[in-house]
Chains A and B, each alone.
Chain A
Amino acid sequence: MRSAARPLADHELQRLDAPGLFRHLLAMRDAGEAEAATRAMWFVLWQRQRWVRAKLAVKLPAEVVDDWVPEVFDRVVDSSFDGASEGELVNWLKVIIARAIADFHRGREGRRQRDDRAGAARIGDDDRPAEAGADDLGYELVGERQIVATVLAARSAAHREAIELAYFADQPARAVAERTGLTEANVYQLVKRFKDDCRAEAGSGEPG
Chain B
Amino acid sequence: MSGVDGLFEAYKAAYRAGEEPGGHDYVARAAPAERPLLESLIDAFLDAAPVPSGAPPAAFRDDPLAQRVMARVEPALRTHETWETVLPAARHAAEITRSTLVSRLAGVLGVGDREDRVAAYYHRMESGTLDPAGVSDRVLAALERVVGVPAQRLRDVGARRGPGALGSGAVFARTTHALEDRAAPPTAAEPVAPEGRDEVDELFLGG
Q: Size of chain B's interface in residues, with CB distance under 8 A?
A: 62
Point out the residue from B44, B54, B69, B152 that lies within 8 Å of A14, measured CB to CB: B54
Q: Which secondary structure dominates chain A's binding surface?
A: helix
Contact of A10 with B37 at beta-carbon distance under 8 Å, contacts A71-B72, A78-B89 already known: no
Give 16 pairs: A residue, B residue, CB < 8 Å, sorted on A. A28-B77, A29-B81, A38-B74, A38-B77, A42-B56, A42-B70, A61-B24, A73-B69, A73-B72, A74-B69, A77-B73, A144-B39, A145-B43, A147-B41, A204-B4, A206-B34
Residue of A nearest to B9 (CB): A170
Stretch from B98-106, B153-161, B191-199 at the A interface: B153-161
Q: Quick check: is A124 within 8 A (CB to CB) of the other chain? A: no
Task: Tell me if B36 is interfacial: C-beta within 8 Å of chain A.
Answer: yes
Contacts A14-B53, A14-B54, A59-B24 given; indicate if A42 touches B61 (C-beta within 8 A).
yes
Interface assignment of A126: CB less than 8 Å from any CB of chain B: no
Roughly how many angstroms separate A50 CA and B17 CA in the complex, as a whole number? 13
| A25-B77, A54-B46, A164-B48 known; A204-B34 Cβ under 8 A | yes
Q: In the complex, what residue of chain A is closest to B54 when comparing beta carbons?
A: A14
- The total of interchain contacts (Cβ-Cβ below 8 angstroms) comes to 182
**Interface size of A as a range:** 35 or more
Is the Cβ of A41 less than 8 Å from the Cβ of B77? yes
Top-6 shortest CB links A-B: A58-B23, A46-B56, A70-B72, A202-B37, A147-B40, A148-B44
Q: Which residues of B contact A2 (CB under 8 A)?
A: 156
A198: chain B residues within 8 A (beta carbon): 37, 40-41
| B42 part of interface (Cβ distance < 8 Å) | yes
**Residue pair A29, B79 in contact (C-beta under 8 Å):** yes
Q: Is residue A102 contacting chain B, with contact meaning CB distance below 8 A?
A: no
- A134: nearest chain-B partner, CB-CB: B95
- Residues of B close to A164: CB separation below 8 A: 48
Contacts of B72 in A (CB 8 A): 70-71, 73-74
User: When chains A and B are docked, how far (Å) is the Cα of A66 from the Cα of B22?
Assistant: 11
